[in-house]
Chains A and B, each alone.
Chain A
Amino acid sequence: MKRLVVKSSRPGRYLRFRESCGRCVSLLEFYAARFFGETSNPFALTGALIVALMVVSAITGIAMLLHYTPTPETAVQSVRRLTDHVYLGSLVRALHRTSADLLVISILFHLFRNWATGRYTGPRSRNWVIGLLALPLIGIIGWSGYVLPWDERGMVLLAWGREIAYGPDQWPILGWLRPGSIIGWPLFSVSNEADQLLRIFALHVGGAFVAIWLVLRHLRPGTPPRARLPLAVWIGLALLLLVIAAMLPLENEDLLTFNPFGQPATVRVDALVSFPLLFYPIFGGSFLAFLILLVWIGLAWLPRFERRKVPAAVVSEIACTGCGLCYNDCPYGAIAMMPHRDPLKRSRGREIAKILLRSCNSCGICVGSCSFGAIELPALMTGEILSRIEGALRADRETTAKEHLSEGVV
């Protein structure tokens, strides 16, 4: 007996690897959902967790800002005072540090999850790149946060940062253009410590604002319903932060007195916030800058490996009543309600749905929303689906009739 069997097209090696990673993520989500529940699963809420942790970091950062003085002479003392004499100052510092750590973990997992499950292809690739822009910025904010106390560790990290920023100047060929000077000049072209600290301080605070703006841009292309954490997850997150902050309190011993002649053998850097800095002693500034750039370009280039040319949804202007159901349901904000082109209908306030081609992911949710058959996916039209249903039923009736005939049943 011959039968035609539909197979999935065989994916390439890269795609197979990505899909196997995606299966691992799915399994993790599946078992986490059993433990936490479907709506409170933190592994499916990484984006919302990032927003929540940024909020915690911003609030604790503002609280610390009230007591911090960005001058080389008083920076360490102000941090000490905050820890010792300000009510809950030590806890606020610990919460700031812990939330930043968890923020980096969430960002990295969010990045991995979206890559592994293919949520970065098509129109979502713009979102992917916007998210990637925020990634180095978060690293720079973390680095500047360590420099701000202006202690011995801050000095060492400042030197490392300068080396990495000016590293591209030593690249072959590209180094002639002095790209490192362009990058490093705004931050490091100072003649005294006070200006240097002020610029680092401005980078830390201003960078946080830019990061928040990028996250808002990251959210804007769609209407993510899960950008808000459920209350249960908020409570769980707050408890987790408090427990970690209580278990790993930040004491004044962490602050090292500035010693301009000393070079500590090891610098205690939080591996999560500034993890690329861990590679500095191995690779040096120039090569580390090259590696960071290479990884970033590779990540930004990934969506080009999976170009899917699925046509966007189309709207029938005749059938569209302007009810707005598709506009409400579209998860990507790819539908805009526009005034009707017909002057008469426009004068009556009639609107019409318009597909924003650059945002449409061809998911078909708008097709399901439309009660009037005004939206269709060209790749899978409603008529085709209905004819497939009728065809299956007709084929079954014919098969049954043939069986009855062969059995002699009339």
Chain B
Amino acid sequence: MTVQGEKSGLDEFETGSAIGLAPFEEGAGILLDELSEAGPGMLEEIDFSIEPFRLSEMLGKIPGENGIEEEGEPSPTEEPGAPEGAVQGPGDETAAIETVAADEIREEEPPHEAEPEEREPKRVPEPANPVIGFVCEHALDVGGLVDARGMMIQSTKVHLISVPCAGMVKPSWLRHALDNGASGAFVVSCTPGSCRHRTGASVTVARWEGKARPMLLSRCDRRRLKLFLDHKANRKEILREIGEFVKEIGKLDAAGEEPQEKPIESIDIDGL
């Protein structure tokens, strides 16, 4: 919810200006400064002059990961021979980001002919469809993280729904999300020891593991479902883990894998 928290939570991405973006810290600063200056109220209209950043793209820019070299990625300001105005520097706040699949980049862009805009580093693709996240309001405060539609500001593909306790989330809601075309779904819960409502986290874990009713059906595609058990003091870690999960979903979608359901071998009325 605070500017410092947001920045510190994603510090590792600040160096990733190689793809022609305004550095993350400036963008976040504008965004969150406006947030902090805005008066009280649940809903406020704020003019943002920049496009929202995408979490998975930023994750794709972690040096040393996903095929991105730690060195050798020229920064926009140091680009030798780059045409003037081709690379958008930190001051250009109108920078828009497009997601390009890694495979497309590999096929269509020979390195020796690439223009500065086309020579974007390989990025992990975003999920094809939104990922639905159910967030315990005591595990993660979504204030300042989501827009009015519930989409994460950092990623337009993650829709967060805040609930009073993770124990409120029915397993059937996760399945409903997948059945209706979501690329994935996740639940953010407190750790069982720190649950505000005593048993919410442990009940959630038990349902997830199939030890308590209503249980999450075993035939659901578990690759696209995830339960995050995080302590509320560890906000940075929660956001990082969500980003990692979204990245995994993006990889599955890029590989053309559809959500798989195991065949129904018997009628499982318990998991309904």
Contact = CB atoms under 8 A, between A and B. Distances in A.
Do A and B actually bind?
yes
Interface of A: 1-10, 23, 26-27, 29-30, 33, 38-39, 41, 44-45, 117-119, 222-226, 310, 325, 329, 331-332, 361-365, 367-371, 377, 380, 382, 385-386, 388-393, 395-397, 399
B150 interface: yes
Contact of B144 (A5, A41, A118): A5
B224 interface: no
A10 B38 CA distance: 10
A59 to B, nearest CB: 27
B86 interface: no
B161 A331 contact: no
B147 A3 contact: yes
A35 B47 CA distance: 45
B199 to A, nearest CB: 4
B200 A365 contact: yes
A131 to B, nearest CB: 15
29 contacts: A3-B46, A5-B38, A7-B44, A8-B144, A10-B39, A10-B40, A26-B231, A26-B232, A29-B194, A29-B233, A33-B191, A33-B193, A118-B196, A224-B198, A310-B164, A325-B213, A329-B203, A332-B198, A363-B165, A363-B168, A364-B163, A364-B168, A365-B168, A368-B170, A369-B203, A370-B170, A377-B168, A390-B180, A397-B129
Interface of B: 1, 35, 38-52, 129-130, 132, 141-144, 146-151, 153, 156-157, 159, 161, 163-165, 167-170, 172-173, 176-177, 180-182, 191-194, 196-200, 202-204, 207, 212-214, 231-234, 270, 272
B176 A371 contact: no
Interface of B: prevailing SS? loop
B231 A365 contact: no
A329 B199 CA distance: 8
A171 to B, nearest CB: 40
B144 A365 contact: no
B130 A7 contact: no
A5 B44 contact: yes
Given A6-B147, A369-B203, 16 more contacts: A2-B47, A5-B46, A5-B147, A6-B143, A26-B233, A30-B194, A30-B233, A39-B192, A117-B196, A329-B199, A331-B199, A370-B170, A389-B159, A389-B182, A392-B150, A397-B129
